[in-house]
Amino acid sequence: MAQLVEHHLAKVRVASSNLVVRSSSFRVVIVNGVEVGPYRDLSGVNLAGADLRGANLQGADLSGANLKGANLAGANLVDAVLVGANFSEAKLWGAGLCGADCYQANLFKANLEGCNLKEANLDGANFEDANLEGANLEGANLSGFDLWGDNLIGANLRGANLANAKLDGANFAGVVMPDGSIHE
């Protein structure tokens, strides 16, 4: 499990391997020796299994990053660049990904329950067996999206682009469809 340390002006050394600091207002944290925070270049970084609950990663570049099994519940990933990032089996429930670029990101078996993906680019992303229950996908680009086995119960797809999306095998109960109708 990754450890978080809050700092603002100078790097902070961690004296205890069990130290965990949680704050929704932190600017930069140290996670496995990597400075993590908003608008940071974190492309290609390995944060597999990291505990990033509530982290502020707004506008961060996580292209090609490995976040397999990471806990990003409630994290702020608004306008983040997640191109080709690996979020397989990650916990993203309640996370904010409005406007995020998730082109070809791997979200295999990721838990995105209640996640806000409004106007996110999900073109070519892998959401196989992902949980999108109650997710807000309003205006999201889902072209080429493979929904096989996905749980979309109660999700909002109003205005979403579903061109070339594979919809077979997904659970659409109570979903607000792109035209505003509710699927039964």
Question: What whole-number distance in Å separates Cα of residue 151 and Cα of residue 98?
Answer: 20
Per the DSSP assignment, residues forming a β-bridge with 182 are 176
Token pair 């095998």: residue: 169
The pLDDT confidence band at residue 168, using thresholds 50, 70 and 90, is confident
Maximal C-alpha separation, the chain: 55
Structural domain contains residue 156: yes
Does residue 145 form part of some domain?
Answer: yes
Residue 4 has pLDDT above 90, yes or no: no
pTM of the model: 0.81
Residue 118 sits in which domain range? 38-184
> Which tens digits make up the pLDDT trace of 104-156?
999 999 999 999 999 999 988 998 899 999 999 999 988 888 787 889 999 99
Bridge partners (DSSP) of residue 101 are 81, 121
CATH number of the domain to which 49 belongs: 2.160.20.80
The tally of domains found in the chain comes to 1
pLDDT of residue 62: 98
